[in-house]
Every structure is written in C-alpha cells, then in structure tokens.
Structure 1
Amino acid sequence: MTQDLNGKVAIVTGASSGIGLETTKQFLAAGTKVVGAARSTANLAELAGPDMICAIDVDLTQAGAAEKVMQAAIDRFGKVDILFNNAGAAPGRDDFLSVTDEMWQQTFDLNVMGYIRMARAVIPVMEKQGKGVLIHCGSEAGIKPHPLLPDYSVSKSAINMISKILSRDYTRKGIRSNIVAPAHIRTELWDEPGGFLDTLADHYGVPRNDRDGAVAAFLEDSQLPAGRLGTPEDVARAVLYLASDVSDFVSGIVLGVDGGVVPSLQT
C-alpha cells in the first residue's frame, strides 16, 4: 500500500514522541524522507542517517517557525510532498470556567495557529509542484467535546473546519487535505507519572502501580467498542494511507481511529 511513498518528503510536527514519533518511523520504513520538527528532537537522529531524516528544534507558536521548518525541507531534500500537522497539547482543566484567556490563547497558538502556519508555509511549494498532501491530527473531542478539555475540544473542532477549507480551495490544484482523528490512544502521556493512567487509577480506586487494572476499569466503564486502547501504530498506519496515492481520491474527510467510540456515541 505504501510503495508510492518511497522517495517522497514528509514534514512531521510533534515528531519526537507518541503519534508523531511512530509516524516518523513508519514513513522512514516506507522509504520516505522526513523533516521531524519538535521543541526537542534529540532522539530523532538515531532513527536514520542524514540522507533520510532532518531534525529541527522549533516552537511552532513562534513567528517564522513554520517557514524555518519548510525551508529546512527544501534545503535538505528539495521538495515537500506531505505535511503531517501533529504538534499539539491537551491540558486538563477542571471545567469551562477554570480556563482563563491566557489558557485559551496558549492552546490555540499551538493547536490551531501552529497548523495554520505550517499549512500556509508548505502550500506555495506544493502548488509549484502541482501535488501535495496535508494531513492534520484531530480528535474525537473535535466532534464530541470532552468535559475536562474544553479549550482542546474547541481547538480540534476548528481543525475540522480548517481542513475542509483547505480541501475546498486546493484539491483542484492537486493538494489534498484530510484529518486523522484518534481517540483513546495509549501514548507516553498515559503512562508517565501523573499522567492519564494515574488519574484513571484514582478515579476507579485502583492502586497507581496497577496500570493494567486502571486500563481494565476504564475499558469496562467506557464500553469502548474495540475492547482495547489504541496504539500510536494504529494512527500512523492511517496517516500513511492518507499520505499515499492509494487515497488519491480522498480529500476533506475526518478519518476516525477511535475503536468505534465516535460512531457508538452518535447512535
């Protein structure tokens, strides 16, 4: 399915961990050259040689950062075929009223403006090439808001509309825009001290060192149709599908990688 990705060039933001890191690995395995952008990319150099990966430390909330990433791709590899807009944050909140103006601004600067800036940087290059792919990491929270993630939920809803606008305006120019929308993906944010699994353990009365027990309690309570948590590999495979020519007639969609949770909520 991914043979057509050999020799292409992909920008991956938020490339140093979780979904971004796994997607970077799968792109490299498919023969794709990767520009990996994150605030710290020290772990990316070990994935491949400089002929295949370019790691760039950058804060996408800062002016000029997106152009810096795009220029690194041109300088190193001469083109940009794929953008995976993935860098983002999901800060937990007590409720809607607890989110200050500053918190809203911080979330939108990264989760929304970071995506907009990166798309704005690469689209002119893709237009000149006559082809390109934009993929944005959304969330089920952009469809059904999470009560403890109000600003994050709104930011992901905004991404849905941004992708539709890009699809409307640029598909005719050979540039497709789609969203991959994960839910319940077990990344480092789940397992780190004070992470989501600790929160779940406290919620369900399970010892914090019993990570499997916390997951089991969550799955039973949430009744996630797939019966398991998702993995970064699940999401990365969907990203590579949307990046490949196999999906050449697909533009403007939201592809859920959520174990069936969103369809079950909509019935």
Structure 2
Amino acid sequence: MNLQIEGKTAVITGADSGIGKATAIILAQEGVNIVVSDIDQEELEKTAEDIRPYLVNGNQVTDIVADLKKISEVEQLAEKVKANHGGADIVAHCAGARGAAGNFLELTDDDWQETVDIDLMGAVRVSRAFIPQMQSKGWGRLILISSENALQPYEDESPYNACKAAIVNLSKCLSRAFSKDGLLINCVSPAYIETPMTNKMMEQLAEERGSSVDEAVQWFLKNERPHIEVQRRGKAEEVASVIAFLCSDLASFVNGSNYRVDGGSVETAFG
C-alpha cells in the first residue's frame, strides 16, 4: 500500500514493543525514516535491529532513549530529531501505562499523579515538543493513543479512564488549534490488544484465579469484555495499520477524529 509519505521522518514513542513497534515497522515499509523512543536502552536497541530489515530506499532507524515524565528528556529527544533529521513530520505517541488500579476510595493522590504524569502529561509534553517542528514544515501528522476506557470506563481503572478521556479531548483541541498550519491531529482508541501491558494483566489474573494465562484470557473476554464481538484479543498490527493510515496523505481530510480499534468492545454506537 502506498501511503504517499516516502521520505518523511516519523517519531514513535513507546516503541520498544506492542503497538509502537508495530507502527514503526509499517511506516518503515512505506519508506519513512524512523525514530523510536522508549525508556529501556537495551530493549530499544533490539527494536531498532528488528525494524532495520523493513527499511527501504536507504532510510534510517534511530533509537533515542527518553523518559517522557521528564520534560528535559522530551526536549532533548526533539532536539536530536531536529539535528539528525531536520525535524519530525509524523509523531505517533504510543507510550503509556495502565498505572494504579483498584477501589477508587483507596487510590491515593500519588497513585493518581503517577498515572496522570505518564498517560496524560506524556502526551502533552510530546505534543508541545514536536508541534513546532511540524509547523515549520507546513505539514504534519500527530496521532495520540487513547483507549476504549475513554468512552467506556471500568470501575477499577479510574485514573487510566480519566487520562485516556482527556487524551481524546486533547487531540480534538490540538486539531482545531493547528490545522491552519498544515497539521492533522487524530486519536486512536484500542481495546484489549495483545501487548506487554495486557500480558502482565493476564498473568496477574491467572495467578489470582489459579489458572493458565490462556484460561485467564478467555475468562476476561467472557466476563469483562463481553462486547468484543470478534471474541479475541486484538493484535498490535491491527492498531498500527489504522495509525499508519492516519499518518498518511490518504487521510488528508481526517482531522480531530477518534478511531476505535476495539473489536466492538464499546457498546454504544455513538461513543
């Protein structure tokens, strides 16, 4: 598929696994220069090596470690992208974490702050750092990752629910503010995708139930996500395909939208 973005430079955060890595691979196949970022140097280097065979036309993959909770490291990431590639054309912000979960009345301010700092403020910092680079080019694509939780919250994940709802709102806000500069800004909301984050959740559930992980997955689908009509976990590549489309010139009339990639998990037609 020709997404008409050959030669562009894409920055993907949260790229050492899951949706971020899958997105990087698809964009690499489309002739895009890739900058992957995450917090673990060793894992990030492995990811870069995994992406390298997919590069075409002599394009590059660069790995840059950055802790998105620290504004100084986000700014350094942006500076390195500017120095090495002349700035970002595309940013797919895939970094995030489930954060603290449990009874709302038992969650502390520190629990909330940790989740807000990673899931919401990480998106804010990355957007603030890279929007000027895209403005200077008069063309840009920014994709923020939300979740089904934004539209269909689960009672034991109140901090995550709130942050992901805020990201949908943030993407709409930014799309209105910067479309005049040639930027298209959209949001993607996955549900129950097979990633390290949900793998950890399923391992914990299996331990609690005294079952295998596969049995835990099936129990979770039946009891906690009964509206995933395809009756399975999603694949990172299935989310990455939607992200890649939104990064492309084929999506030139898509702005301020939230694309659900949830297998039907969100019950309402209008969420």
* TM-score (structure 1 length as normaliser): 0.91
Contact 1:9/1:33 (8 A) holds in 2: yes
Contact 2:188/2:259 (8 A) holds in 1: yes
The aligned runs of 1:155-234 (5 Å cut-off) are: 155-191=163-199, 195-201=200-206, 205=209, 207=211, 210-221=212-223, 222-223=225-226, 224-234=228-238
Contact 2:16/2:37 (8 A) holds in 1: yes
Quote the residue 2:128 is aligned against.
120
Quote the residue 2:38 is aligned against.
38
The aligned runs of 1:1-12 (5 Å cut-off) are: 1-12=1-12
Q: Measure the CA separation in 1 of the matches of 2:262 and 2:184.
A: 22
Note closer, same or farther for the CA distance 1:174–1:263 as it changes in structure 2 (3 Å cut).
Answer: farther
Quote the residue 2:161 is aligned against.
153
Q: After the TM superposition, which of the residue ranges 11-20 and 214-223 deviates more from structure 2?
A: 214-223
Q: Measure the CA separation in 2 of the matches of 1:92 and 1:202.
A: 19
- The amino acid that maps onto 2:9 is V
3-state DSSP of counterpart to 2:67: coil
Q: Measure the CA separation in 2 of the matches of 1:2 and 1:151.
A: 39
- The amino acid that maps onto 2:15 is A
Alignment partner of 1:111 is 2:119: yes
Contact 2:17/2:47 (8 A) holds in 1: no
Q: Measure the CA separation in 2 of the matches of 1:258 and 1:68.
A: 34
Contact 1:54/1:76 (8 A) holds in 2: no
Alignment partner of 1:261 is 2:265: yes
Pick from 152, 162, 168 the counterpart of residue 144 of structure 1.
Answer: 152
Note closer, same or farther for the CA distance 1:127–1:266 as it changes in structure 2 (3 Å cut).
Answer: closer
Q: After the TM superposition, which of the residue ranges 34-43 and 161-170 deviates more from structure 2?
A: 34-43
3-state DSSP of counterpart to 1:136: strand
Note closer, same or farther for the CA distance 1:265–1:98 as it changes in structure 2 (3 Å cut).
Answer: farther
Pick from 243, 246, 250 the counterpart of residue 250 of structure 2.
Answer: 246
Note closer, same or farther for the CA distance 1:86–1:189 as it changes in structure 2 (3 Å cut).
Answer: same
3-state DSSP of counterpart to 2:68: coil
Q: Which runs of 5+ in 2 are unaligned?
A: none
Note closer, same or farther for the CA distance 1:109–1:220 as it changes in structure 2 (3 Å cut).
Answer: closer
Contact 1:92/1:148 (8 A) holds in 2: no
3-state DSSP of counterpart to 1:36: strand
Alignment partner of 1:16 is 2:16: yes
Q: Displacement, 1:8?
A: 1.0
Contact 1:136/1:163 (8 A) holds in 2: yes
Q: Measure the CA separation in 1 of the matches of 2:270 and 2:59.
A: 46
3-state DSSP of counterpart to 1:261: coil
Q: Measure the CA separation in 2 of the matches of 1:190 and 1:151.
A: 17
Q: Displacement, 1:44?
A: 2.6
Contact 1:2/1:240 (8 A) holds in 2: no
Q: Count the aligned residue pairs.
A: 261
After superposing on structure 2, the runs of 4+ consecutive aligned residues of structure 1 that deviate more than 4 Å are 264-267
Give the RMSD, CA atoms, in angstroms: 2.0
Note closer, same or farther for the CA distance 1:71–1:2 as it changes in structure 2 (3 Å cut).
Answer: farther
Q: What is the percentage of aligned positions where both structures have the same residue?
A: 34
Alignment partner of 1:235 is 2:239: yes
* TM-score (structure 2 length as normaliser): 0.89
**Any idea what the Cα deviations from partners look like across 1:213-251, whole Å, max 9, x if unmatched?**
222233333322122110101110010011011111000
Q: Displacement, 1:51?
A: 4.8
Contact 1:206/1:213 (8 A) holds in 2: no
Note closer, same or farther for the CA distance 1:263–1:245 as it changes in structure 2 (3 Å cut).
Answer: farther
The aligned runs of 1:93-112 (5 Å cut-off) are: 93-112=101-120
3-state DSSP of counterpart to 2:127: helix
**Any idea what the Cα deviations from partners look like across 1:45-97, whole Å, max 9, x if unmatched?**
31328951111111111122222111221222223111111111102422112
Q: Which runs of 5+ in 1 are unaligned?
A: none
